[in-house]
Structure 1
């Protein structure tokens, strides 16, 4: 089954290079290209892609704003568009803003092609991806941000002991397969635990659940 992608970047040569790289993968399908955030939002609403590869800095509507608009437009649980953010700048404010807007991953543009491809597959499958160059500071920042409404500790108390173990391993960056091996569970069981964690805590995706794990003190940076 193909991963359906929209590529967004205001620089035509950069955008063309990304499209060429991703198009070479047999399980990737490029649905459309956009040169600014508003065009990305419009295309996402009309094409319902699995993933939007979003440039952070663009004219008119920037990538963070576009991400927020795309994520809030996700009303069909069977067709949830994920956003993977790309930027040339190591800017903590942009990274933090993108994740708070609902992006499931963040990469610097100097990333190796193989890592971009892996990140696309990871995010499209429901995982999260943070460039190692910014991961530590972002996690620390998320840990210090208060949640609205019910406290983060109360939300974590909703889940079972086993689900807390799974959430803690997610927060430490383990994949579903790695969690399976660590806890001696089947992959289907791990996926069920993750689904229940998201439902019980009201998290929209794994990235938000991981942020909750740090905010609640379940794990520490």
Structure 2
């Protein structure tokens, strides 16, 4: 049986996620809390098997509470969720201890699938294999990844690196493949986790 703790100060978000989670067999408890001290106090009082923390682009909300919970309870299984374009926020939360992420646009079925995966011990973020970690990114791919980690668009990256936008996209596709990432957020998360960007 699984207990889920949802952390977000938007009531509608919490209720929507709670509905999705309640459809998964084996879930016995779902609690919703706001940020910071309330999450830490609730987790300390009654640890959950899975913690979902919402991020809000440009605010740092979610990232700091993820870091604090992970520091206090290193075994906490934390998944962050936020808009797909919030690459920086998601990546910072991963670097702060989150073990996976969900896109804000995820369907109810995707949300329940993530929880089902957690119940069977699967990772919410596909992780590169050990062999994949040994793949060397080119200097240009590292530059593109670093710019992505700062939330820059392909056009902006091209302007700063004196490349066409199509060339940036080509470098991005290559580094996605090498890192085993499906998109920017995942690539940046891997970059933070494995020290490719700081």
TM bucket, shorter chain: 0.5 to 0.7
Retained in 1: the 8 A contact 2:79–2:101?
yes
Query: TM-score under structure 2 normalisation?
Result: 0.61
Structure with larger RCO (C-alpha < 8 A, sep 6+): 2
Gaps of 5+ in 2: 127-181
Q: CA RMSD in A?
A: 2.8
Q: In the alignment, does 2:106 pair up with 1:111?
A: yes
Matched residues in 1 for 2:73 and 2:119: separation?
A: 14
Aligned positions, number:
141
Retained in 2: the 8 A contact 1:51–1:83?
yes
Gaps of 5+ in 1: 148-221
| Superposition pairs of residues 10-159 of structure 1, within 5 angstroms | 10-57=9-56, 62-74=61-73, 80-123=75-118, 125-130=120-125, 132-133=182-183, 134-140=185-191, 142-145=193-196
Displacement of 1:84:
0.6
Query: TM-score under structure 1 normalisation?
Result: 0.55
Displacement of 1:140:
4.2
Displacement of 1:53:
0.8
Matched residues in 2 for 1:26 and 1:12: separation?
A: 24
SS at match of 2:56: coil
Matched residues in 2 for 1:137 and 1:62: separation?
A: 18
Displacement of 1:142:
4.3
Partner of 1:184: none
Per-residue CA deviation, residues 39-70 of structure 1 (Å, 9 max, x unaligned), is 21221111111111111139x98211111121
